[in-house]
Amino acid sequence: MQFHLNGFRPGNPEISEPSEPPTRTDALPGEVDVLIVGCGPAGLTLAAQLAAFPDIKTCIVEQKSGPLLLGQADGVACRTMEMFEAFGFSERVLKEAYWVNETAFWKPDDASRDNIVRHGRVQDVEDGLSEFPHVILNQARVHDFYLDVMRHSPSRLEPHYGRRLLGLRIDAAADAPSHPVTVKLERTDGAHETVKARYVVGCDGARSIVRQSLGRELRGDSASQAWGVMDVLAVTDFPDIRIKSLIQSAHEGSIVLIPREGGYLVRIYVELDQLNADERVSSRNITIDRLIAAAQRIFRPYTLDVKEVAWWSVYEIGQRLCDKFDDVGEAEAASRLPRVFIAGDACHTHSPKAGQGMNVSMQDAFNLGWKLASVLEGRCAPKLLHTYSAERQAVARELIDFDREWAKMLSAPLKSATERDGVEPAEVQRYFIRHGRYTAGTATLYKPSLITAAPDHQHLAKGLMIGMRFHSAPVIRLADAKPVRLGDAARADGRWRLFVFADRQAPFARLGALCDFLAGSPESPIRRYTPAHADIDSVIDVRAVLQQGHRELELEAMPELLLPAKGRYGLRDYEKLFCPDLKSGNDIFDMRGIDRDAGCVVVVRPDQYVAHVLPLDAHGELAAFFDGFMIVQA
């Protein structure tokens, strides 16, 4: 955390100074830059991201009358934790959440088919996949943390609750006004309001009115398998009650058991009936008692004495997807820029059992947020906005495919001595392990585009794959010898980052030459795209990692760009230089396959995805990459 740059200020440094005196009323503003519809995980991620930019006028509306208290989703993947760190609240989640350390697998006991028996237990996340664990926390608490980020931002952003979207209209004419999207909303007292927006984002769930206003729809399988889910406080002798467990019984169906935060609560997903074609589960009038009874049958020989039900629901599995996540049809993409987007459940729905829904929705918004901010702040060309639907629709399609297969596997009969047609129990476990990186959220790979380069120089950093999230590793900060996670440098602040890995030759001729280019050349992307009077790292933030131990290096010998003078006083920023953590044996150069002789530059997007890997002396190529989408500043 860096603070006091422009003068000492007492109090909580996480609470920014307000950009304007507080004048908030509950009335919606008439004109905004971005209107976000829906306060779910996607909407709040986007709002928190935009709140970092005090010059952008953001409004977020929600149909419900107040914040969520009981959440549906609860799985927080490793990749999502990395994003939470960028938003500054990972430590709160780490403290409060259940940590999924292992996963147990249960099958029918061959000796007594009515009973279940454990057939495996595996580490949930492979070693080294992320610096953060896979955790479980009530969605409502994730909302709370985002609301705090918004509340503490310079714009003091707060949602407007009790607003139902009636519809929206886009003026797509070439001479359309600056705020071409007109949105009609209804308050709970029946009054109507109109908001004009530059951009609208529908984070309004599976029945999204925004999506319907665009004439788009979710397409996919009809549901056929009913499931129930309950959060309970229970007494049981099931030994894995505090371990995530996949339980497949012989004749009574399956359970996915997810221990929950606080040490006592547990979530139990219970397989219920096969539904007829087009039948909805609501027609079956399933009660909580029936749900508990079904769980008790699957748990045999163990008992399950439910003392309190905190929340429960029944649902049918269906994998459905929207074919485009913005208002621009495939045919118009070259001629028209998007004005309205959809994110999260508004564009993809699937089963909850792989724990992906909330995570993918938040990543949708994280992908869109910096793009909207960059365009609104005049840093990037608006064509950048096309990449949102292109990147995220492909991710959603993979998710739908994965979920279909996983849900089928959990509902299929198991093979045994007497039943030969089913799935091998061990196969379920193997499938789970094989897809570990996927469910951790670290397998996402964006295709080459104007913001993701072709992998021409990937060999310089084999473990930092272009198109994938920047894989952090432990390092030592040179100036204060602090052990830190390198990836933590990537805050959710809309900045691009250059992680420069020096070659092994001190005194760093090529690193020096690169810094000279970046600091001084008229071709430098830093010179071209950073507004006058802004801090030198405010658009593109350069961090360097050297190969030597931190006591072998002299701070005075480092390029000035890496000790930049900033703020009203010209104070030096000492947090740009890092060394490997040689004492712990975790050398980032080895861990990420960096070419020690050549070094490299790793270009990281504001959403933490690797955009490019380049040789240290490819100054022109580096400049050309940014020229593809950034706007020269006066």
Q: Which residues bind a copy of itself (CB under 8 A)?
A: 1-5, 7-8, 10-13, 69-70, 91-92, 94-96, 98-99, 101-102, 121, 138, 140-141, 144, 231, 233-235, 237, 239, 241-243, 259, 261-265, 307-308, 310-311, 479-483, 551, 554-556, 565, 569-575
Q: How far is CA 73 from CA 67, 77, 140, 313, 324, in A?
A: 15, 12, 9, 12, 24
Q: How far apart are the first and last CA of the chain?
A: 31
Q: Which residues contact 570 (CB under 8 A, 6 or more apart)?
A: none
* Three-state SS at 416: coil
The residue annotated as part of the active site, out of 269, 315, 446, 609, is: 269
- Counts for the chain of helices (H) and strands (E), in that order: 14, 28
| Distance (Å, whole) CA 65 – CA 78 | 32
The residue annotated as part of the active site, out of 74, 345, 587, 607, is: 74
Query: Minimal distance in Å, beta carbon 47 to a copy of itself?
Result: 20
Element (H, E) at 212: helix 209-213
| Distance (Å, whole) CA 146 – CA 221 | 33
- Return the number of the residue (426 or 481) whose C-beta is nearest a copy of itself: 481
The residue annotated as part of the active site, out of 260, 379, 477, 605, is: 260
- Return the number of the residue (228 or 615) whose C-beta is nearest a copy of itself: 228
Query: Minimal distance in Å, beta carbon 489 to a copy of itself?
Result: 12
- Return the number of the residue (233 or 591) whose C-beta is nearest a copy of itself: 233
269 is catalytic: yes
Nearest one of 533, 185, 171, 548 to 340, comparing CA atoms: 171
Contact 125, 438 (CB under 8 A): no
Tell me, what amino acid is at 525? P
The residue annotated as part of the active site, out of 259, 352, 564, 606, is: 352
Nearest one of 430, 424, 428, 422 to 407, comparing CA atoms: 428
Query: Minimal distance in Å, beta carbon 512 to a copy of itself?
Result: 18
| Distance (Å, whole) CA 367 – CA 9 | 33
Contact 266, 232 (CB under 8 A): yes
Query: Minimal distance in Å, beta carbon 532 to a copy of itself?
Result: 22
| Distance (Å, whole) CA 500 – CA 512 | 11
- Return the number of the residue (224 or 538) whose C-beta is nearest a copy of itself: 538
How many residues make up the chain in this entry?
Answer: 634
Query: Minimal distance in Å, beta carbon 154 to a copy of itself?
Result: 17
- Return the number of the residue (282 or 303) whose C-beta is nearest a copy of itself: 303
| Distance (Å, whole) CA 261 – CA 246 | 19
- Return the number of the residue (144 or 158) whose C-beta is nearest a copy of itself: 144
Dihedral pair phi/psi, residue 91, rounded to 5°: -70, -30
Query: Minimal distance in Å, beta carbon 605 to a copy of itself?
Result: 24
609 is catalytic: no
- Return the number of the residue (26 or 308) whose C-beta is nearest a copy of itself: 308
Query: Minimal distance in Å, beta carbon 263 to a copy of itself?
Result: 4
- Return the number of the residue (273 or 573) whose C-beta is nearest a copy of itself: 573
| Distance (Å, whole) CA 182 – CA 167 | 9
Rg (CA), the chain: 26
Query: Minimal distance in Å, beta carbon 380 to a copy of itself?
Result: 28
| 16 DSSP assignment | P
Where in the sequence numbering do the catalytic residues fall?
A: 74, 260, 269, 352
